[in-house]
Amino acid sequence: MKKDNRSYILLRYGLVIVFILWLAACIVVKLCETTVVDADKWNQRANELLSQTKEIIPGRGNILASDGSVLATNLNFYTARIDYRAEKFNEKLFRDTIDQLAARMAEHFPVKSAEQWKKHLLKPLDKVKEKRPRAYKLMSGLSHADMETLRTFPFFSIKNRNRNGLTFEKYMRRFNPYGDMARRSIGGVGETAESKEIHGISGLEKALDSLLYGKVGYSKMINLTKKITDWTDIPAIPGSDIVTTIDINMQDIVESELNNVLDTCGADWGVAVLMDVKNGDIKAISNLERNPRGPGYIEARNRAVMGYEPGSVVKTLSMMIAVEDGLVPDLNEVLPTGSGWAYAGGRPITDAHHSASIRAGDVLEQSSNIGMARIITRKYNDNPGAFYSRVKALGFLEPMNTGIAGEVPPRFDSVPNDRGGRIALSRMSYGYATEIPPLYTLAIYNAIANDGVFVRPRLVKEVKGAVDSVFPVGYMGNGRACSPQTAATLRQMLTNVVWGDHGTGRFLRNNTVRIAGKTGTCYMIENGAYNQGKKRLAFCGFFPAEEPKYSCVVLTCHPTKNFFGAATTSGQVLRNIALKLYSRGMLGNSSDYRSVTPSDAAPTFYASASGRKAYERVKSDFAIPSHRSLKSPSTVAKGTLPDVKGYGLREAIVALETAGYNVDYTGSGYVRSMEPAAGTRPARGTRVRLVLGN
């Protein structure tokens, strides 16, 4: 018996030894094949792997406001998913807690109701386990805080991810902390068709993409002692930060006032640009158009750098050239006008408010087409093309290179020296037969406000990167549009447009900030002809008139109600911007704002006796209504409804939504009343009803 057991054990040992020897032989054979027979093939594959390089995408630079506030940056966002086929997914607990989970989801992520969330979460469980999704999308666009909050919900709070199936995918997204503020000027990013890389597709993001994008890095695989691993060969260089000239507070004011007037007059679109007179810094730029998918206005194409027939605002350019070149030696010269002037046998030039004659010094004040054409043609009648050369010599036709994508220079035609050229010359002198971007128009007015110094508008003032670069103030042409004496003469003419007895901008008079500027009206071309039922209305000017700090241009397209004039639409935007800057102490004044100026009080900005005398001549009671006071936020107890009476709609919505309330509104203008009342304690999410009026 013992002998049989011993033989059986030896047999088993023998089989094991044979198996081990066979396995060892196989290993030796395979080793020989790998290291000797197939050595060249494996060496080639190893070399291919080690020679591969991968691109390392650099971090995109930030776009900053002038004070360092972030206008565009990169942020991490997350997509939440559920693996319903996770090995230990606790289906029973999931079903037991679904009502609580759905309620919490609806509370924190109200894109769906509790019932809708419950249906969404249970839907994959209708399938057999083998066919359930492994990456069921819960929601995207989650911040890090949202992700952490989601992990505290019933069922998702289970620490073992294999039991709740909850996973997160991280991705990078360009983020604008101020929403649509100056969105078109800042621009956007997207994938390129060629490489799927993220590059700028509009605005500053596109124009300065080479700086913002940075430099791509490269990595390769290297053979370490224990493994082959990824090794950074050339590190990526992050993109530079771009510091713009945008002032956040001024940008908010410009957008709010443009939106209010567009809404009041029912215009198709509008654009407004605010610029610092001394250095050409664009402090604010807004482009709004009617929302095609609902009420209100949204950020639109950047029309500030697109060419349009400017209308009468270009008369200021013509008059500046005329005064500078001595074509108007005597401002008291009387020019014949009458009901029309058929210059060069063309269609008669007419004035909206014609008279038998007009003083040369009053041409801008009364916006006389005939007067302006008579002045310009007296020199350029025999050589119309020379007018183009004169405009070009100013530097007015140069590219500005502001950094705004889509910028185009003005179109002034070098007309022939014939009858057609003379007719075109007369039209160009008062704003037709040419195309000028609003930003170029603003540059000329800014030069007049700046004693003739022709600074180049700029939107970028500094680049912060490996090597910091500061962009100096630039100049158009030779740096001067006209002499200081000519600039002073033009400033007085533009002041008379608002304060003169027959000025086309008399609507803009107020007792707080003196405004100087010029109105402009131009019919729109449709199907090759002027449509006299549609107008583009412009106002370009500067303030305060005697000591200009800011210049501004506003363009309003096709108003349909309430206001139909250049002063009452575009001019009103400029006036409201000036008043709000004053109310916030941004014009070098005290911010101790008074809603109504006493009738016997002298205006704030009059540097000369002539300025005071002009004011007394046109003194009126255009005091600012108290409901436009644009007061500072009232102090209210924490958790109570903030008082937004007197705010513009945009400011009111921001204040209320920040406090956790929803908003309904009727009317246009400024908030007159609100329900529930300010200072009460309605629950978060309560809908506040606002009544607006002017």
**Cβ within 8 Å of residue 291, ≥6 positions away:** 297, 298
Position 173 confidence tier, pLDDT thresholds 50, 70, 90: confident
- 257: closest CA among 603, 494, 584? 584
Can you point out the beta strands (E) in 354-452? Answer: 357-359
Q: What is the pLDDT of residue 100?
A: 93
Cβ–Cβ < 8 Å for 627, 609: no
Is residue 602 in a domain? yes
Say if residue 526 is in the same domain as residue 430.
Answer: yes
Q: What is the pLDDT of residue 302?
A: 83
Say if residue 385 is in the same domain as residue 494.
Answer: yes
Q: Which of 27, 53, 79 is the last residue of a domain?
A: 53
Mean predicted confidence (pLDDT) in 323-333 = 91
The label of the residue with tokens 């002998």 reads 3
The label of the residue with tokens 């700029």 reads 458
Q: What is the pLDDT of residue 692?
A: 75
Q: What is the pLDDT of residue 143?
A: 86
Cβ–Cβ < 8 Å for 376, 406: no
How far apart are the C-alpha atoms of 691 and 669, rounded to whole Å?
Answer: 9
Q: CATH number, domain at 679?
A: 3.30.10.20
Say if residue 78 is in the same domain as residue 35.
Answer: no
The label of the residue with tokens 């769906």 reads 112
Task: Evaluate the omega torsion of the peptide bond into residue 438 and state whether it is cis, within 30 degrees of 0.
Answer: no
pLDDT single digits (tens) 28-65: 888 887 777 777 776 777 666 666 777 777 888 888 88
Query: Which range in 106-110, 188-192, 231-235 is most confidently predicted, on average pLDDT?
Result: 106-110
Say if residue 167 is in the same domain as residue 287.
Answer: no
Position 637 confidence tier, pLDDT thresholds 50, 70, 90: low
Cβ–Cβ < 8 Å for 303, 331: no
Say if residue 320 is in the same domain as residue 447.
Answer: yes
Q: What is the pLDDT of residue 594?
A: 41
Say if residue 636 is in the same domain as residue 603.
Answer: no
How far apart are the C-alpha atoms of 424 and 384, rounded to whole Å?
Answer: 8
pLDDT single digits (tens) 215-264: 888 887 777 766 767 777 788 888 888 898 999 889 889 989 999 999 99
How far apart are the C-alpha atoms of 271 and 282, rounded to whole Å?
Answer: 13
Say if residue 140 is in the same domain as residue 215.
Answer: yes
Mean predicted confidence (pLDDT) in 467-475 = 81
Say if residue 237 is in the same domain as residue 256.
Answer: no
Q: What is the pLDDT of residue 669?
A: 64
Say if residue 438 is in the same domain as residue 553.
Answer: yes
How far apart are the C-alpha atoms of 356 and 688, rounded to whole Å?
Answer: 58
Is residue 135 in a domain? yes
Residue type (1 letter), 3: K
Say if residue 166 is in the same domain as residue 28.
Answer: no
The two structure tokens encoding residue 243? 């510091």
Burial of 19 (0-12, 13-18, 19+ CB in 10 A): exposed
Phi, psi at 478, each rounded to 5°: -90, 10
Q: Give the torsion sign (CA, 672, 675, 678, 684).
A: negative
Position 542 confidence tier, pLDDT thresholds 50, 70, 90: very high
> Worst-scoring range by mean pLDDT, 111-120, 340-349, 594-603, 631-640?
594-603
Is residue 156 in a domain? yes
How far apart are the C-alpha atoms of 6 and 1, rounded to whole Å?
Answer: 9
Q: CATH number, domain at 114?
A: 3.90.1310
- 61: closest CA among 215, 201, 232? 215
How many Cβ atoms are within 10 Å of 541's Cβ, its own excluded? 33
Residues 326-348: b if buried by 16+ CB within 10 A, e if exposed: ebbeeeeeebebeeebebbeeee
- 693: closest CA among 250, 258, 264, 242? 264
Q: Which of 17, 34, 53 is the last residue of a domain?
A: 53
**Cβ within 8 Å of residue 331, ≥6 positions away:** 359, 360, 361, 489
pLDDT single digits (tens) 575-604: 999 999 998 888 887 544 444 333 333 333
Is residue 600 in a domain? yes
Q: Which of 30, 53, 76 is the last residue of a domain?
A: 53
How far apart are the C-alpha atoms of 360 and 358, rounded to whole Å?
Answer: 6
Say if residue 551 is in the same domain as residue 655.
Answer: no
pLDDT single digits (tens) 503-520: 999 999 998 999 999 999
Q: CATH number, domain at 424?
A: 3.40.710.10
DSSP track, 233-280? EE--BPPPEEEE---HHHHHHHHHHHHHHHHHHT-SEEEEEEEETTT-
> What is the Cβ-side half-sphere exposure of residue 330, based on CA atoms within 13 angstroms?
5
Strands 529-543 vs 516-526: parallel, antiparallel or unpaired: antiparallel
Say if residue 568 is in the same domain as residue 667.
Answer: no
- Terminal-to-terminal C-alpha distance of the chain: 116
Strands 241-244 vs 460-464: parallel, antiparallel or unpaired: antiparallel
Query: Which range in 41-45, 196-200, 270-274 is most confidently predicted, on average pLDDT?
Result: 270-274
How far apart are the C-alpha atoms of 400 and 265, rounded to whole Å?
Answer: 32
Burial of 381 (0-12, 13-18, 19+ CB in 10 A): middle
Percent residues over pLDDT 70 in the chain:
87
Does the pLDDT at position 524 exceed 60?
A: yes
Q: What is the pLDDT of residue 590?
A: 53
How far apart are the C-alpha atoms of 574 and 254, rounded to whole Å?
Answer: 8
Structural domains in the chain (count): 4
Rounded to a whole number, what is the largest CA-CA distance in the chain?
145
Residue type (1 letter), 484: P
> Worst-scoring range by mean pLDDT, 124-138, 397-411, 487-501, 616-630?
616-630
The two structure tokens encoding residue 599? 């009738």
Is residue 524 in a domain? yes
Strand partners, 555: 271, 538
Is residue 370 in a domain? yes
**Cβ within 8 Å of residue 153, ≥6 positions away:** 101, 104, 105
Is residue 517 in a domain? yes
Cβ–Cβ < 8 Å for 663, 653: yes
pLDDT higher at 581 or 180: 581
How far apart are the C-alpha atoms of 640 and 674, rounded to whole Å?
Answer: 14
How far apart are the C-alpha atoms of 197 and 241, rounded to whole Å?
Answer: 19
Cα–chain center distance at 392 = 30
Q: What is the pLDDT of residue 608?
A: 37
**Cβ within 8 Å of residue 322, ≥6 positions away:** 328, 375, 376
How many Cβ atoms are within 10 Å of 104's Cβ, its own excluded? 20
Cα–chain center distance at 633 = 26
Structural domain boundaries enclosing 270: 249-624
Mean pLDDT of the chain: 83
Is residue 58 in a domain? no
